[in-house]
Amino acid sequence: MEEGEKLVKLLKIDDYYYIGFALLMAALVLALIPRTAIRKLFGFSLVWGYLGSFSFVNFLGEGILNLFSWNEADPFIFIKTPFLLNLAWAPAVMIYLYFVPKPKHLFYLYFLSFTLISAGLDEVFHRLGLLRYIFWNPFFRFIVAFLWLYGVTWHAEKINLFEEIR
């Protein structure tokens, strides 16, 4: 049996959720955002999306505070966290930043919606059996996403990223 066949036999249906989510996010970026904007957003989104998610999940979520743990992600684990799931946050940040509306009243609605989607996604992963709550729930995810997206937005404004992508 070849290596590729062994990997396919190791994968269970639960493993495809991680792959599917990462591919869906990448496909949405390619379909919705122009290539020039992707180039300008890529590094920023990698730092805030992948590294932000990885840092929170690895050091606080599963590490120091032991708030939750990820299940069924064995072939894609990198330092106790699902690599593809963390990586999928880079395209999520790109989508968030590219579509931030200029009018303040629409921005607040957009910001709140994106934060609620993050909390809802947390619950979906929990119900699928991929995320095990220890001292965690979607309300805490909402708070973390609120602060995290606030930091993303604040930093993007400070470096004039919105002007570069519009």
Q: What sections of 11-103 are H helices per DSSP?
A: 15-32, 35-45, 52-55, 83-87, 89-98
Task: Report pLDDT digits (tens) over 144-155.
Answer: 999 999 999 999
pTM for this prediction? 0.85
Reported as a single tens digit per residue, the pLDDT across 20-29 is 888 898 999 9
Domain count, the chain: 1
Host domain of residue 105: 3-165
Residue 152 three-state SS: helix
pLDDT digits (tens, 9 = 90+) for 39-80: 999 999 999 999 888 888 777 777 788 898 887 666 677 777
Number of H helices, E strands in the chain: 9, 4
Whole-number Å distance between alpha carbons of 141 and 123: 9
